[in-house]
């Protein structure tokens, strides 16, 4: 994926705002998109505490946007989607719940008048694929849950919103170890940089959904993957929602659920290693649309998609004193 852009070059991404009714409250939601108006809508949900900039490399991949109308958005309270002006939102802590999250995604799809979209979310957005497959299987053509698990406890932590903590820095560095060392350092650093942009309390509030309210361990049979195909796609280096977690979820769901492990990549695949992720996700999208003749393998490797693999370098040693 070349970064040799020329001065004056304009990317084809367009940005706009759409008003969506979420739980009876009108929200002004920021949306970026690229691709043909009549292309298959691919609705992309960012990770906890982040924004739609995570998807910029998918939005500018010509092979993807030749077929798909790629749409990435900022959830309310994230990025450019400011809190609603009709509420005194500052009087209470921001807390994301499963119902609010699922209803928000559907409301945004409705506001954009999307017909049979494919949903693709990562981390908390990946987990949400299970709720969407349970509550709204008729609203989507297919669901892609990146870094998805039935249960991901332990990350609703008080010090992620504490006056004695530099939360923008802590939030960013807490994500560093979730990424694979093979990714380009510029992309790894950019992923951290995006995490430094979140509003106070939003990352923690999202993690309430991620670690507390989302628990499908005993409800996997309620996910209607036979009606709406579900692809659970987890990175090898993700220790929060491991590839084994993805396989367990798919097995519990049964017919219509497919688990795939992405080798050489971690918890933020679309931003930490864009070239490798885009190559992987094209294989998944081909399976969604029926263009892929063979079933997806249990594992996708860089060699499978023609990407040169960069093993991690040796550990740096401190100089002798």
Read off the pLDDT of residues 238-294 as tens digits, 9 standing for 90 and up: 999 999 999 999 999 999 999 999 999 999 999 999 999 999 999 999 999 999 989
Question: Which two three-digit tokens encode residue 300?
Answer: 């996708």
Task: Say if 23 falls within a structural domain.
Answer: no
Sequence-distant (≥ 6) Cβ neighbours of residue 100 within 8 angstroms? 22, 23, 209
Task: Say if 10 falls within a structural domain.
Answer: no
CA distances to 2, 11, 18, 32, 271 from 6, rounded to whole Å, are 11, 11, 31, 22, 22
What is the residue range of 271's domain? Answer: 35-69+93-305
In eight-state DSSP terms, residue 296 is: P
Question: Which two three-digit tokens encode residue 304?
Answer: 């499978």
Q: Three-state DSSP class for 162?
A: coil
Stretch 165-177: mean pLDDT, rounded? 86
Task: Say if 283 falls within a structural domain.
Answer: yes
Q: Provide the sign of the torsion angle of the four alpha carbons 40, 46, 52, 53, taken in this order.
A: negative
Task: Say if 80 falls within a structural domain.
Answer: no
Closest CA to 93 of 161, 155, 25, 154: 161
Q: What is the pLDDT of residues 117-164, one digit of tens each?
A: 999 999 999 999 999 999 999 999 999 999 999 999 998 988 888 888
Task: Say if 77 falls within a structural domain.
Answer: no
Quick one: 241 exposed, middle or buried, by C-beta within 10 A (0-12, 13-18, 19+)?
A: buried
Count of CB atoms within 10 A of residue 242's CB?
17
- Cα–Cα distance between 282 and 285 in angstroms, integer? 5
Q: Quote the number of domains for the chain.
A: 1
Q: What is the pLDDT of residue 314?
A: 57
Task: Say if 277 falls within a structural domain.
Answer: yes
Task: Say if 259 falls within a structural domain.
Answer: yes
Quick one: 215 exposed, middle or buried, by C-beta within 10 A (0-12, 13-18, 19+)?
A: middle
CA distances to 23, 69, 103, 151 from 14, rounded to whole Å, are 27, 12, 25, 35
Sequence-distant (≥ 6) Cβ neighbours of residue 251 within 8 angstroms? 257, 259
Pairwise pLDDT comparison (168 vs 89), residue with the higher score: 89
CATH at 161: 3.40.50.1820
Task: Say if 171 falls within a structural domain.
Answer: yes
Pairwise pLDDT comparison (233 vs 2), residue with the higher score: 233
Q: Check whether 310 has a pLDDT greater than 70.
A: no
- Cα–Cα distance between 240 and 147 in angstroms, integer? 8
Q: What is the mean pLDDT of the chain?
A: 94
Closest CA to 280 of 317, 231, 245, 241: 231
């Amino acid at each position: 994926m070349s970064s040799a852009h020329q001065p004056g070059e304009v990317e084809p991404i367009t940005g706009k705002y759409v008003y969506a009714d979420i739980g009876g409250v009108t929200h002004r939601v920021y949306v970026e998109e690229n691709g043909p108006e009549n292309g298959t809508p691919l609705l992309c949900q960012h990770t906890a505490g982040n924004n739609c900039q995570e998807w910029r490399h998918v939005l500018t991949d010509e092979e993807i946007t030749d077929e798909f109308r790629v749409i990435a958005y900022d959830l309310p309270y994230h990025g450019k989607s400011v809190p609603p002006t009709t509420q005194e939102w500052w009087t209470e802590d921001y807390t994301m719940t499963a119902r609010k999250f699922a209803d928000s995604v559907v409301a945004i799809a409705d506001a954009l008048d999307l017909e049979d979209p494919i949903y693709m979310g990562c981390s908390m957005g990946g987990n949400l694929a299970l709720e969407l497959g349970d509550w709204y299987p008729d609203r989507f053509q297919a669901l892609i849950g990146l870094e998805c698990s039935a249960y991901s406890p332990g990350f609703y932590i008080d010090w992620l919103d504490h006056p004695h903590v530099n939360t923008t820095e802590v939030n960013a560095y807490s994500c560093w170890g979730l990424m694979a060392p093979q990714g380009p350092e510029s992309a790894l650093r950019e992923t951290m940089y995006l995490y430094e942009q979140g509003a106070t309390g939003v990352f923690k509030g999202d993690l309430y959904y991620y670690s507390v309210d989302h628990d499908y361990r005993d409800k996997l049979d309620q996910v209607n993957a036979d009606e709406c195909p579900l692809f659970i796609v987890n990175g090898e280096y993700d220790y929060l929602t491991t590839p084994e977690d993805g396989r367990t979820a798919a097995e519990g769901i049964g017919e219509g659920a497919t688990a795939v492990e992405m080798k050489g990549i971690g918890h933020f695949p679309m931003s930490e290693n864009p070239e490798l992720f885009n190559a992987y996700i094209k294989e998944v999208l081909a399976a969604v649309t029926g263009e892929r003749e063979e079933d997806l393998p249990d594992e996708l490797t860089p060699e499978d998609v023609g990407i040169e693999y960069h093993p991690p370098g040796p550990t740096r040693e401190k100089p002798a004193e």
